[in-house]
Chains A and B, each alone.
Chain A
Amino acid sequence: MIGDPWMLSEPRPGIGGFTARFESVGRKLPARRVTTAELMASTRHHTSIDLERLTGITERHVCSKGEDSLTLATDAARDCLARSRHPATDLEMVISASITRHDGDAIHRFEPPLSLTIKEAIGAPRAINFDISNACAGMLTGVFLLHDFIRRGVIRCGMVVSGEHITGLGTNAARSIRTILSPQLASLTLGYAGAAVIVERAESGQPGILRTGFTTLAAHSRLCVGLPATHEPGAKMFTRARKIHEVAMVDGPPLVQQILDDAGLRLDEIDWLIPHQTSVRAIRTGEKVLAERLGEHPKHVVVTVDEYGNTASTTLFLALHRYLTERRLARGDKVLLLSVASGLEVGVVVFVVDELEQTHDHAH
């Protein structure tokens, strides 16, 4: 490509001397599960929507009393540290990326930042902490930031963490949905989860993260909006899902191509493509369109939305955690993480699996 690349991406020649790598991935899934059939039985109006067939989602984990965004995030951070060789005191930066900021069942906290509470809970008091908000691309945005700080040698080790506590979104949607065209339909695909990832400076010779890139296709910034409900506890989310999908199909492939070009890779050299998990149908369509536009297929496309639902900012790392735990990823595999989120945010991270696979060797 001649001229500037569209995506803000790294590494750039001559800038930053270090390589970053994923050191550990942790998660927290609430024990309770709700099937799609149970959820659809709770709608106020009689609908003929076959949500399971439409989305491929069979169930999702849901929180019980006493669990919230903060407990999910903190438990995921602890799981991540338990798999890591780093004590919490090694963390120099802690970034919280939760969209839902529940500290208590229906209490959405603005200030103080969640990252402050999390870093204190896990024992990283000296870490610089802040919260970011970038919809479902939040955790990957945090990785993008840590990658830059580590590459330039400002820090050696940091954590991105998120807990998504969806209370209210599903319940409020279930009250109003009548047809498949309801702008709140996407709220019924959501699931609860926490995830955390440690990014550190790689040792010499470790391939680590090959490429990161992000951009905002702001012409579509208002296609998905989440805000507190007016007459009910919790929040509501209004999504033009079909339009978002159309935009992602048209504008996504050239952006993926840019990052692959920058990394000197072809799509068929990617062993695992882990896309944002919205629905099985959307992922399969995306896979097909990407292959048509780029003329190649990744070796595997990861789908976990069927069992977890769309867990917002945590989906990519929940999927990564699962595939590491199931020992499907092997050392040397090339993985492409792809975020598509409200905004419209598109983020890509390409990395090579290394000792990361060993962090899931033993049960925790």
Chain B
Amino acid sequence: MTTRIDAAATSVPRRRWFGRDGALHLSDAAARTCLTRGHHRSSELELVINVGMYKDHGLAEPALASMIQEDLGANLGHPPQAGTHGTFSFDVLNGGVGLITAAHLCDAFVGSGVAKLAMIVAGDADPSPRTTRHYPFSAAGGAVLLAHDDHGAGFQRFLFRTYPEDAGLFVASTRWDPHAGRVRRGRNVLELYEAPAFATRCSEEGRAVVSELLAQVGLPPSGIDLLVTSAYPRTFAQDIARGLGIASDRLPRLPAALARAHTAGPIASLEVAIQSGQFARAKHVVFVTAGAGLTIGAAYYRTDHRAAQLAA
């Protein structure tokens, strides 16, 4: 009993005369495309997990996932209907490792059959460009549909490692700056700090975690057919592949608009692989993601026959 990927989709901001697309819009757009690609209705969703970190206006409550659920029209629950299932939504906040953390949680419910269909949604956009400092990510949304699989295809193993000695290498927080704002009366300011060593340390520990994961599943690096990674730091994917001797053609090539995506980054990589047929051809897929903490989350995924169906 496993959890397989049924579809993936991303979204980027539209060209507009005024205003901009925020995290909620990007998440909604990716989620709708994902449902269409997966040939599922929103009412089939039993679990929605949002992993986006940078929400419109810095929203702290409610979970953005509940708003996404409402926008998708997924079992809105007024009133709850007897004899049919509802949807449970909440947010996971684990930075760049959010996708793999949420996949681990979904696997608990979907793999076991408690839920049949789950969606992970990721969307980040600068909450307030006038009062944000050093925001490094491109605005992007992403969504992945996860379904129960009786034949063993899907996520096989997850591995998480943290390196708290490197916790200061990437820090994002909102603080009161009494001199910020147009008339310098003070504003809450979102500040992001990235140390020069962050990218290097992500790559070093990412390689170590992938090696540990491969040892656990008995797969040599050369056996990896597809490597799905975080898009940020920019050099992360290439560094992992180079360091482990994995051919560069095993890495999906991201479009420029998604090359600095945060939580949606690995979904963008997955989407490219699915759309190009690379995912369908792959048997052994490794996911590796990196985030502040320093945290590395990795997963081993076996596609088997299911990928061929997906491609068809």
**Within the complex, what minimum Cβ distance (angstroms) separates A219 from chain B?**
4
B101 with A1: CB separation less than 8 A: no
Within 8 A of A (CB), among B169-218: 170-176, 185-188, 190
B69 with A225: CB separation less than 8 A: no
Within 8 A of B (CB), among A90-141: 99-101, 103-104, 106-113, 116-117, 120, 125, 128-135, 137, 141
**Within the complex, what minimum Cβ distance (angstroms) separates A145 from chain B?**
6
A132 to B93, CA, bound (A): 6
Contact of A221 with B66 at beta-carbon distance under 8 Å, contacts A3-B83, A8-B85, A226-B59 already known: yes
The answer, yes or no, to whether A148 is at the interface (CB within 8 Å) is yes
A128 to B103, CA, bound (A): 14
B113 with A15: CB separation less than 8 A: yes
Within 8 A of A (CB), among B262-301: 291-295
> B64 — nearest CB in chain A belongs to which residue?
A133
A217 with B109: CB separation less than 8 A: no
A216 with B86: CB separation less than 8 A: yes
Surface stretch bound by B, among A250-258, A280-288, A296-304, A314-322 = A250-258
A112 with B292: CB separation less than 8 A: yes
Within 8 A of A (CB), among B59-91: 59-63, 65-67, 69-70, 74-91
Surface stretch bound by A, among B10-18, B31-39, B159-167, B303-311 = B159-167
A131 to B90, CA, bound (A): 11
Residues of chain A with a CB closer than 8 A to B93's CB: 110, 113, 130-133
Selected from A6, A117, A120, the residue in CB contact (under 8 A) with B81 is: A6
A215 with B113: CB separation less than 8 A: no
Q: Main SS of the interface on chain B?
A: mixed
0 or 1 for each of A210-235: is its CB under 8 Å from B? (1 = yes): 00001111111110111111111111
A214 to B88, CA, bound (A): 6
Selected from B75, B90, B112, B292, the residue in CB contact (under 8 A) with A345 is: B90
Contact of A231 with B86 at beta-carbon distance under 8 Å, contacts A8-B114, A133-B60 already known: no
Contact of A116 with B92 at beta-carbon distance under 8 Å, contacts A6-B80, A254-B80 already known: no
**Within the complex, what minimum Cβ distance (angstroms) separates B285 from chain A?**
21
Selected from B63, B81, B170, the residue in CB contact (under 8 A) with A112 is: B170
Selected from B83, B114, B162, B171, the residue in CB contact (under 8 A) with A1 is: B83
Within 8 A of B (CB), among A304-350: 341-345
Contact of A216 with B69 at beta-carbon distance under 8 Å, contacts A233-B188, A345-B90 already known: yes
> Which residue among B63, B70, B104, B293 has the maximum number of chain A CB atoms within 10 Å of its CB?
B63
The answer, yes or no, to whether B6 is at the interface (CB within 8 Å) is no
Contact of A228 with B162 at beta-carbon distance under 8 Å, contacts A111-B95, A134-B91, A145-B108 already known: no
The answer, yes or no, to whether A82 is at the interface (CB within 8 Å) is no
A216 with B293: CB separation less than 8 A: no
Surface stretch bound by A, among B46-54, B220-228, B233-241, B253-261 = B46-54
Within 8 A of A (CB), among B91-119: 91-95, 97, 101, 104-105, 108-109, 112-115
Q: Please count how many residues in chain A sit with their CB below 8 Å of the partner chain's CB atoms.
A: 76
Residues of chain A with a CB closer than 8 A to B104's CB: 128
The answer, yes or no, to whether A86 is at the interface (CB within 8 Å) is no
B167 with A99: CB separation less than 8 A: no
> B89 — nearest CB in chain A belongs to which residue?
A216
Residues of B within 8 A of A (CB): 46-48, 53-54, 57-63, 65-67, 69-70, 74-95, 97, 101, 104-105, 108-109, 112-115, 160, 162, 164, 167, 170-176, 185-188, 190, 291-295
The 9 residue pairs across chains A and B that have the minimum distance between CB atoms: A3-B83, A217-B77, A226-B61, A233-B176, A219-B76, A342-B62, A111-B292, A343-B66, A4-B85
Residues of A within 8 A of B (CB): 1-8, 10, 12, 15-16, 99-101, 103-104, 106-113, 116-117, 120, 125, 128-135, 137, 141, 145, 148-149, 152, 154, 214-222, 224-235, 237, 247, 250-251, 254-255, 341-345
Q: List 21 A-B contacts (CB under 8 A).
A: A1-B82, A7-B80, A8-B87, A108-B173, A110-B93, A110-B173, A111-B172, A112-B293, A112-B295, A113-B295, A117-B167, A132-B90, A132-B91, A133-B92, A141-B90, A148-B114, A216-B69, A216-B89, A217-B76, A217-B86, A341-B62
